[in-house]
Amino acid sequence: MSSLDDKVINVVLLFCFGDAFVTGSASGWGRYDDAAVVKVYETLTGVKVEGKAPMLSKEDVLQSLPSEWPEDPIDNLVPIASHSSKKFLVVLDDDPTGTQTVHDIEVLTEWPVEALVEQFLKLPTCFFILTNSRSMTADKAMLLVQTICKNLKAAAEKVPGVSYTIVLRGDSTLRGHFPEEADAAVSVLGEMDAWIICPFFLQGGRYTINDIHYVADSDRLIPAGETEFAKDAVFGYKSSNLRQWVEEKTKGRVLENQVSTISITLLRKQGPTAVCEHLCSLEKGSVCIVNAASDRDMAVFASGMIQAELKGKRFLCRTAASFVSARIGIKPKPPICPNDLGLKRALTGGLIIVGSYVPKTTKQVDELRSQFGQSLRVIEVSVEMVSMKSMEDRDQEIRRIVELGNAYIQSRKDTLILTSRQLITGKTPEESLEINYKVSSALVEIVRRIDSKPHYIIAKGGITSSDIATKALEAKRAKVMGQALAGVPLWQLGPESRFPGVPYIVFPGNVGDNSALAKVVKSWASPSRSSTKEILLNAEKGGYAVGAFNVYNLEGIEAVVAAAEAEKSPAILQIHPSALKQGGVPLVACCIAAAEQSSVPISVHYDHGISKSDLLQALEAGFDSVMVDGSHLTLGDNILYTKSISSLAHAKGLLVEAELGRLSGSEDGMTVEEYEARFTDVAQAEEFIDETSIDALAVCIGNVHGKYPPSGPNLKFDLLKDLRALTLKKGVSLVLHGASGLSHELVKVC
């Protein structure tokens, strides 16, 4: 038998008896020497072993890991890091999404030496420098990082005692200029003891386990090299094993078996001290990857790294966002809502700009449009027109979008401006970046020309959000307030920006499930009008009353809204059954339109619903609330009548008012004689509230509909106090009908 036959037999035997071994080792599940066997096999046979890590169940994998390190070191991270009061973390962020896990941190979009000196003098634990280098060619990115590092070095020399650790914050799905940016930093700052590679990012579902980097998709863990992110036209890669990824990206300069690893087992069983010992034992210039599957893992590593730094070790970090918050000891806080920032009622619509092309973004946009329907104004930017056609065609497309955008935002309509979803790529990575630049610059020009100040701004995609902030909105610095959703940073732009104070939400292209974008828009979009319930709850908190006014025509509606706006007061537009019979649905529509356009909270209420059939129609007419008036019935019948409507109204989210006791007087053709009137009984009121689950109780304390007698009203204030105490205890609002003609002083007493 020839030597060639021997080789064939050897190959066959290896596949027969070692298939599982080869697959596992090539996927990074084995020891270093196991992987070396695969390399030797490839060399001898000339056959490339393309090991693919399996797709796994997230729940099964996470449950199979050792228990977390028992002590959470996060509380001690800042004191440890502050051992030297002038040791800072400086994050060079290749797009704005790196602020995904921090709050109360400043971001600089410019980096002159003077600005960096000013930042160092503030003694922050950390600050970000937005480079947006992911949108550049590798050569330009390297030059930029070198410039920033030179300026940092010069600034540090002007502030005695300053030292800092550089973090090159990159994409958690492994896209970006690595190792070029790291090489650029080292060329200025000198050789480091080690490069730290840590792409773990919990909020985005990015886990590194047994050296394999995974992207979570629902309950599955997909190796990063098998995702759409690995197919990126500019930053594509094949390896899911991070040691192999380092070899791939460095083009063999750093071999897989030269890459050191900090395992989850080390983090969870040996803790920060073992991390410190491992880092201190590395040869100078090493590359070390960090496995992590929880924020506790990240905090344990950060604690050990700080200990190593205190021993004099210097590290250059290429990480995702989770490392930054762990390294400076920041704990997560709940998502920020408009109320948290004290924002006033919106007078304009919000602006949502989408430039990201990843499939996740397209799915999120589809879900946003599905949930919001016609209430969301959508303007599509033709990518072909702005990147492949003449300058005249490009400018015409930009002018068309600006005109529509200004009109929609001014009309208080939330407006989505998105690039057409077809992805146009070049023949080379450089050509693809050039096309991306043309599209991004078109979005910048569109937002630059929009002069209607939006209620909020959402920019979807890293490159898009950076360019919009710096070029379109002219922000030189910003403060990270927190997150609008887990992994979605919310900035407050500096006073020099075009729209200071407007919340700027940086939405990464690769974060969140399909409904994530819709969730953020829903929480920030202003409701088309305030509900009666919101108005009454705010009145309760503020200690004031809200006027409710019956209207019969457009002139009356305009008069009430104009008066409310002049007084900067909320108000309720009421429609009586008789008025509804005359004006019909158009009258309700006029009230709704006026409420939507008002600068103060206005709601629309159906008054004195005596007829069940009329009330059922009112529930479908667009009212914010209804009054169920069974005051003419016995207590038992009133309870049954009110309860039947209350359950239906609550199912639609409407507030329910009901009356107990009976007012005398006339209103819109309905008259209650004085002998028919009766005061509200406190004990009956408690039973009535408990049985009907109403939201607001109208009571009789001597108040009447229409005109009061010449002698004036005879109001029972002691009864009013008792009823007020009851409604406070029950959590319902107290309503007094018959305010027409009362003096200002008497209203205040009530």
Question: What tens digit of pLDDT does each residue of 383-400 get?
Answer: 889 888 899 999 999 999
Instruction: Give the whole-number percent of the chain exceeding pLDDT 90.
Output: 67
Which pLDDT value is given to residue 686?
95
Which pLDDT value is given to residue 28?
39
Q: What is the CA radius of gyration of the chain?
A: 33
Distance CA 668, CA 323 (A): 68
Q: Which of 240-244, 464-468, 508-512, 539-543 has the highest mean pLDDT?
A: 240-244
What the block records as the tokens of 664 is 């005398």
Q: If you average pLDDT over residues 279-303, what whole number do you get?
A: 97
User: Residue 1 — pLDDT band, cuts 50, 70, 90?
Assistant: very low
Distance CA 430, CA 594 (A): 53
* Residue carrying the six token digits 């994998």: 61
User: Residue 82 — pLDDT band, cuts 50, 70, 90?
Assistant: low
Q: Which residues pair with 217 in a beta bridge?
A: 220
Read off the pLDDT of residues 580-613 as tens digits, 9 standing for 90 and up: 999 999 999 999 999 988 889 999 999 999 999 9
Q: Which residues contact 645 (CB under 8 A, 6 or more apart)?
A: 609, 612, 615, 616, 619, 626, 628, 656
Which pLDDT value is given to residue 706?
64
Q: Using the predicted structure, report yes or no on whether residue 732 has a pLDDT greater than 90.
A: yes
User: Residue 358 — pLDDT band, cuts 50, 70, 90?
Assistant: confident
Read off the pLDDT of residues 126-166 as tens digits, 9 standing for 90 and up: 999 999 999 899 999 999 999 999 999 999 999 998 999 99
Please give the helix or strand (H or E) that residue 297 lies within, else none.
helix 295-310
Q: Using the predicted structure, report yes or no on whether residue 625 has a pLDDT greater than 90.
A: yes
* Residue carrying the six token digits 């007020």: 724
Please give the helix or strand (H or E) that residue 522 lies within, else none.
helix 516-524
Q: Which residues are catalytic?
A: 607
Q: If you average pLDDT over residues 191-204, what whole number do you get?
A: 96
| Domains within the chain, CATH numbers bracketed | 3-51 (no CATH), 74-327 (3.40.50.10840), 338-524 (3.40.980.20), 532-749 (3.20.20.70)
Which pLDDT value is given to residue 80?
54
Which pLDDT value is given to residue 218?
85
Which pLDDT value is given to residue 391?
92
Which pLDDT value is given to residue 86?
65
Please give the helix or strand (H or E) that residue 677 lies within, else none.
none
Q: Using the predicted structure, report yes or no on whether residue 19 has a pLDDT greater than 70.
A: no
Q: How far from 588 is each of 594, 618, 620, 746, CA to CA, in Å?
A: 10, 10, 11, 32
92 within 8 A of 148, measured Cβ to Cβ: yes
Instruction: Examine residue 179 and say whether the peptide bond preceding it is cis (omega within 30 degrees of 0).
Output: yes
Distance CA 87, CA 149 (A): 16
Which pLDDT value is given to residue 346?
74
Q: Which residues contact 653 (CB under 8 A, 6 or more apart)?
A: 531
Which pLDDT value is given to residue 11?
40
Which pLDDT value is given to residue 676?
43
Mean pLDDT score of the chain: 87
* Residue carrying the six token digits 């019909």: 584
Phi-psi label, residue 365: left if phi above 0, alpha if psi -120 to 50, beta otherwise = alpha
What the block records as the tokens of 625 is 């609330």
| Number of Cβ atoms within 10 Å of the Cβ of 404 | 16
Q: Which residues contact 554 (CB under 8 A, 6 or more apart)?
A: 590
Read off the pLDDT of residues 650-696 as tens digits, 9 standing for 90 and up: 999 999 999 987 654 444 444 444 434 578 899 999 999 999 999 99
Which pLDDT value is given to residue 36?
33
User: Residue 18 — pLDDT band, cuts 50, 70, 90?
Assistant: very low
What the block records as the tokens of 650 is 């609550």
**Counting every residue, how long is the chain?**
750
Q: If you average pLDDT over residues 482-492, what whole number do you get?
A: 94
Read off the pLDDT of residues 268-285 as tens digits, 9 standing for 90 and up: 999 999 999 999 999 999
Distance CA 241, CA 252 (A): 15
User: Residue 78 — pLDDT band, cuts 50, 70, 90?
Assistant: low
CA 438 to chain centroid, in Å, comes to 27
Q: Which residues contact 685 (CB under 8 A, 6 or more apart)?
A: 660, 697, 699, 723, 726
Lowest mean pLDDT among 31-45, 393-407, 658-672, 697-711: 31-45
Q: Which residue has the higher pLDDT, 346 or 308?
A: 308
| Number of Cβ atoms within 10 Å of the Cβ of 261 | 18
Distance CA 659, CA 688 (A): 10
> Coil, strand or helix: which one is 262?
strand
Whether this model's pTM surpasses 0.85: no
> Coil, strand or helix: which one is 323?
helix
What the block records as the tokens of 317 is 């970090």
User: Residue 338 — pLDDT band, cuts 50, 70, 90?
Assistant: confident
Which pLDDT value is given to residue 2?
44
CA 83 to chain centroid, in Å, comes to 34
Phi-psi label, residue 440: left if phi above 0, alpha if psi -120 to 50, beta otherwise = alpha
Lowest mean pLDDT among 19-28, 672-681, 730-739: 19-28
| Number of Cβ atoms within 10 Å of the Cβ of 183 | 18
Query: Among residues 631, 643, 614, which one has the least CA distance to residue 735?
Result: 631
Q: Using the predicted structure, report yes or no on whether residue 194 has a pLDDT greater than 50.
A: yes
Distance CA 705, CA 699 (A): 12
Which pLDDT value is given to residue 296?
96
Which pLDDT value is given to residue 747?
72
Phi-psi label, residue 44: left if phi above 0, alpha if psi -120 to 50, beta otherwise = alpha
Which pLDDT value is given to residue 221?
97
Q: Using the predicted structure, report yes or no on whether residue 628 has a pLDDT greater than 70.
A: yes
Distance CA 497, CA 486 (A): 26
Which pLDDT value is given to residue 426?
76
User: Residue 22 — pLDDT band, cuts 50, 70, 90?
Assistant: very low
Which pLDDT value is given to residue 55?
84
Q: Using the predicted structure, report yes or no on whether residue 286 has a pLDDT greater than 90.
A: yes
Which pLDDT value is given to residue 79?
55
Distance CA 225, CA 549 (A): 64
Query: Among residues 72, 71, 105, which one has the least CA distance to residue 328?
Result: 105
Read off the pLDDT of residues 441-476 as tens digits, 9 standing for 90 and up: 999 999 999 999 999 999 998 888 989 999 999 999
Q: If you average pLDDT over residues 228-257, what whole number do you get?
A: 96
Eight-state DSSP code of residue 241: B
Q: Using the predicted structure, report yes or no on whether residue 24 has a pLDDT greater than 60.
A: no
Instruction: Give the whole-number percent of the chain exceeding pLDDT 70.
Output: 88
Q: Which residues of 143-158 are buried (b: 16+ CB within 10 A; e: fewer)?
A: ebbbebbebbeebbee
